[in-house]
A and B are shown apart, each in its own frame.
Chain A
């Protein structure tokens, strides 16, 4: 019987981080879907019409955490989407890198901003 030779073969299709992002894009979409339906139904049923109404809605811990979860999902989802768009249309490496940095920085800024809106005051 001929000896079985196994040899380590490097996978030819990259680092596979694309699959994780693809999955997270879907997971974050489902989180946002649930939040949109729940929050949309609440606001459409009894429309808040004053500052006090809005304040009361966002005073609840459950709403705050849910909204923050929505924002985190939104920002990660937006990162994957914008990165995909930039990879598809901006072929000059330097420019693409600069734009990706700008998107990432903006999203990090929004993350801190949304947390400060929800808990800051």
Chain B
């Protein structure tokens, strides 16, 4: 009997070595997981307080006015925007739009750019 050869393993965990579409994919996962926890319960709690009573709203407003919190909000907006645009890209890929190598690469880069641009626009509008 021939001995089982060990399967070759290739784990290149350096994100910088991933092609743009691969980087987009892992960011889609990470942003999705972070949106589920801790962002979703956090925002639900703020909605709960903010819609619950006048003083609750005042507490949320005071909290949200803090510069560090504003910066954190911008981070949340970026995660949401990135997940949003990456999701649209996946929906288009599902119906075979831009599925070839070159356009899928440029659309992945476009998603990164759009996510940042949308975040900056919303940030500019909020300040």
Contacts and interface: CB of A to CB of B under 8 A. Distances in A.
Nearest to A58: B51
B51 A55 contact: yes
Interface in B79-120: 84, 87-88, 91, 94
Contacts of A54: 50-51, 57
Given A33-B84, A36-B84, A117 B36 contact: no
A44 B51 contact: no
A69 interface: no
Contact of A82 (B33, B47, B50, B88): B33
Contacts of A33: 84, 87-88
A8 interface: no
A81 B28 CA distance: 10
The range of chain B's interface size is 20 to 34
Interface of B is mostly: helix
Interface of A is mostly: helix
Contact of A85 (B29, B50, B52): B29
Contacts of B69: none
B87 A29 contact: yes
Contacts of B58: 51
Interface of B: 29, 32-33, 35-37, 40-41, 44, 47-48, 50-52, 54, 57-58, 84, 87-88, 91, 94, 122, 125
